[in-house]
Chain A
Amino acid sequence: KAGVTQTPRYLIKTRGQQVTLSCSPISGHRSVSWYQQTPGQGLQFLFEYFSETQRNKGNFPGRFSGRQFSNSRSEMNVSTLELGDSALYLCASSLASQGNNSPLHFGNGTRLTVT
């Protein structure tokens, strides 16, 4: 079974630009979550989608948004990029949404560098 696939693996953008990251979950998984990893803050929750609906959202500004398609694939968008947005963005999928003991399975991430 293929794992979680994230594209692209690396991205370099300049301040003020916007970026879209893509995630394909494990086949059969309907929940997709996004996390940001930085050296200072560690892994932080961005949002979770289940059946095309955003179920939960972390403490990030509105510049961070996402969506999920009917095939469970998800995209994450960051607008008006800032230097502090440089991070590893990780997508994770699971069989079920919150309320079930279904562990998250992560992709290898997209390394975003903002210059």
Chain B
Amino acid sequence: DQQVKQNSPSLSVQEGRISILNCDYTNSMFDYFLWYKKYPAEGPTFLISISSIKDKNEDGRFTVFLNKSAKHLSLHIVPSQPGDSAVYFCAASGFGGGGGADGLTFGKGTHLIIQP
């Protein structure tokens, strides 16, 4: 049973526009959420995180929104750039960013394609 779901396997966005990646979770014990970006043949790169005491966190072009009641989070990238083309993973933890009893739980990823 997937506790972290990314329902869109792929997403295509025009360069300069906003990219919105979505993630849903089912485990109410999750209290820390992270987004990672992954290029082929490389490990995931940490982008941004948010704890459950907040509903928004910004870092440059990246903003993560958390809706605890809906068990939903999203990553906004504005403006989208060609280098943003990659697979994006949503991850969750029950104890904090280092991993809970089961480590980080990852979604299956969304392949973001930025069109020129």
Chain A residues with CB under 8 Å of chain B are 4, 6, 31, 33, 35, 42-48, 56, 58-59, 90, 92, 94, 96-109
Docked-complex contact A48 and B103, CB < 8 angstroms:
yes
Residues 36-71 of chain B, each 1 if its beta carbon lies under 8 Å from chain A, else 0: 100001111110010100000000000000000000
Report how far A28 CA is from B34 CA in the complex, Å: 21
Residues 86-116 of chain B, each 1 if its beta carbon lies under 8 Å from chain A, else 0: 0001010101111111111111110000000
> Which of A35, A47, A58, A100 touches B96 (beta carbons < 8 Å)?
A100
Tell me if B32 is interfacial: C-beta within 8 Å of chain A.
Answer: yes
> Which of A44, A98, A104 touches B100 (beta carbons < 8 Å)?
A98
Shortest Cβ distance from residue A54 to the other chain B in the assembled complex, whole angstroms:
12
Docked-complex contact A35 and B95, CB < 8 angstroms:
no
Chain B residues with CB under 8 Å of chain A are 32, 34, 36, 41-46, 49, 51, 89, 91, 93, 95-109
Docked-complex contact B99 and A56, CB < 8 angstroms:
yes
Shortest Cβ distance from residue A8 to the other chain B in the assembled complex, whole angstroms:
14
Q: Which residues of B contact A106 (CB under 8 A)?
A: 36, 43-46
> Which of B32, B43, B106 touches A101 (beta carbons < 8 Å)?
B32
Report how far A69 CA is from B56 CA in the complex, Å: 38
With contact pairs A35-B103, A42-B106, A43-B106 given, residues A100 and B98 touching in the complex (Cβ less than 8 Å): yes
Q: Which residues of A contact B109 (CB under 8 A)?
A: 42
6 A/B residue pairs, CB under 8 Å, sorted by A: A42-B106, A45-B103, A47-B103, A48-B99, A56-B99, A108-B43
Report how far A46 CA is from B43 CA in the complex, Å: 16
Q: Which residues of B contact A101 (CB under 8 A)?
A: 32, 49, 51, 96-97
> Which of A31, A94, A103, A109 touches B43 (beta carbons < 8 Å)?
A109
